[in-house]
């Protein structure tokens, strides 16, 4: 229970920091991600999210979703799987293109486009396009998820 409490406190601190910095997403430029490390970091975040989605771990999924996304989509622990989708097989994400938007000194939003495919022993699997947004807080070393969102 303490982990969830700490996560909520961190989220509140982030929201306060974003509000106090008077930075809005519409005023910050969106740039193409060129740094390889950012690609790997965001891909790891997406794959962690997908693994919990596959496991249907509702408590962890709820904590990974961004509070703004939860509020805008009226998500509860009771409807989270209906609102975010479900995975019947374990899938891995590979980023093809990514953009970033700096929200504050510590927080960056990454808009990722790529493919997901089922993990099979023979390596032969159908690929699907996949869009997701990940908000990374470098100060607190946390991230949150906006499923199925992307910008061009």
* pLDDT tens sequence across 8-55: 444 444 444 444 444 444 578 999 999 999 999 999 999 999 999 999
In this predicted structure, the answer to whether residue 146 has a pLDDT above a threshold of 90 is yes
Q: What is the pLDDT of residue 96?
A: 94
Question: How large is the average pLDDT for residues 64-74?
Answer: 94
Q: What is the pLDDT of residue 21?
A: 43
Q: What is the pLDDT of residue 149?
A: 60
Distance CA(47)–CA(95), nearest Å, equals: 11
The residue whose two tokens read 């953009």 is 99
Query: Has this prediction a pTM greater than 0.85?
Result: no
Distance CA(132)–CA(122), nearest Å, equals: 27
3-class SS of residue 38:
helix
In this predicted structure, the answer to whether residue 4 has a pLDDT above a threshold of 60 is no
Q: What is the pLDDT of residue 26?
A: 52
- Residues 71-123: tens digit of each pLDDT: 999 999 999 998 888 888 889 999 999 999 999 999 999 999 999 998 777 76
**Tokens found for residue 146:** 């906006």
* Low-confidence winner among 80-84, 91-95, 134-138, 146-150 (lowest mean pLDDT): 146-150
What is the arrangement of strands in the sheet containing 91-102, beginning at the earlier edge strand?
Answer: 30-32, 91-102, 107-118, 127-137, 142-147
């Amino acid at each position: 229970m303490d982990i969830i409490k700490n996560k909520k406190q961190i989220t509140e601190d982030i929201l306060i920091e974003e509000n106090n910095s008077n930075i809005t997403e519409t005023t910050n430029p969106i740039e193409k991600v060129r740094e390889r490390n950012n690609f790997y970091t965001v891909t790891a975040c997406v794959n962690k999210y997908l693994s919990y989605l596959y496991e249907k771990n509702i408590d962890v999924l709820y904590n990974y979703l961004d509070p703004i996304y939860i509020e805008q989509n009226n998500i509860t622990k009771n409807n989270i799987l209906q609102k975010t989708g479900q995975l019947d097989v374990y899938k891995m994400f590979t980023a093809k293109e990514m953009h970033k938007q700096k929200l504050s000194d510590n927080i960056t939003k990454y808009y990722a486009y790529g493919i997901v495919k089922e993990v099979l022993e023979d390596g032969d699997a159908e690929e699907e396009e996949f869009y997701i947004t990940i908000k990374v807080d470098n100060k607190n070393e946390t991230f949150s998820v906006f499923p199925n969102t992307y910008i061009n």
